[in-house]
Amino acid sequence: MSAYSIYPRRTKWIIVAIGFFTSALIILYWVLWFVARDVVATFNTEAYYEFEQAFVLADSYLGLVALIGVIGLCFDKRWAVFFTFTAGSAGLYVGCMDFLYDMQHGVWDFADSQNAGGAAIELCIVVYTLCASGYVLAWSWWVIDRELTQKNSVEAQRL
């Protein structure tokens, strides 16, 4: 069985688009954070800055595995689904951490926010991260399950 047969064409390109967009978004966010922090920062407190900067490594990891996964998908590599699955899982983890902090600290309280634009950006990031990561994780599991089911049915026919 060729690697191409395990990646359905239409949905594969949706995952590729999500992966490239996610990687670009992560780069854009961190460039803005370090160059024009006022654009994306919701609060201007040292505690908030420390919290956000704790995400640099996790976001870099997420962007890297997403990029490796989608490059693998572009070339129909069998290992690509491992990286898309990893990216989906990492994205859900990062998204949940961000969601919990934002809820506990009133980041989305637009009336009380020091930067309503930053709060809106943060809300969009969290919603996108959770939705896109959930979709990528579900798609990756579907591909893995589909491959295992096909492999088991071929082996059963041999018996």
Which residue would you say has higher pLDDT here, 7 or 13? 13
Confidence of residue 115 (pLDDT cuts 50, 70, 90): confident
Domain annotation covers residue 123: yes
Alpha helices for the chain (secondary structure H): 9-35, 37-40, 46-53, 56-74, 80-104, 116-158
pLDDT at 156: 62
Domain annotation covers residue 47: yes
Which residue would you say has higher pLDDT here, 58 or 119? 58
pLDDT at 114: 72
Give dist(CA 52, CA 102) in Å, integer: 11
Residues of the chain above pLDDT 70, percent: 91
Domain annotation covers residue 39: yes
Give dist(CA 65, CA 145) in Å, integer: 21
Give dist(CA 59, CA 55) in Å, integer: 6
Q: Domain count for the chain, please give it.
A: 1
Q: 10, 34, 6, 21: which is closest to 87 by C-alpha? A: 21
Domain annotation covers residue 82: yes
Domain annotation covers residue 94: yes
Residue pair 6/143 in contact (Cβ under 8 Å)? The answer is yes
What 3-state DSSP class applies to 4? helix
Query: By residue range, what is the domain housing residue 64?
Result: 8-158
Across all residues in the chain, what is the average pLDDT? 90
pLDDT exceeds cutoff 90 at 139? yes
Q: Between the ranges 49-53, 67-71, 73-77, 115-119, where is the mean pLDDT highest?
A: 67-71
Which residue would you say has higher pLDDT here, 1 or 39? 39
Q: What is the pTM of this model?
A: 0.86
pLDDT exceeds cutoff 70 at 80? yes
For 55-66, the pLDDT digits (tens) are 999 999 999 999
Domain annotation covers residue 1: no
Domain annotation covers residue 3: no
Residues 6+ apart with CB under 8 A from 158: none
What is the 8-class DSSP label of residue 7? S
For 9-32, the pLDDT digits (tens) are 889 999 999 999 999 999 999 999
pLDDT at 157: 66
Domain annotation covers residue 2: no
Residues of the chain above pLDDT 90, percent: 67
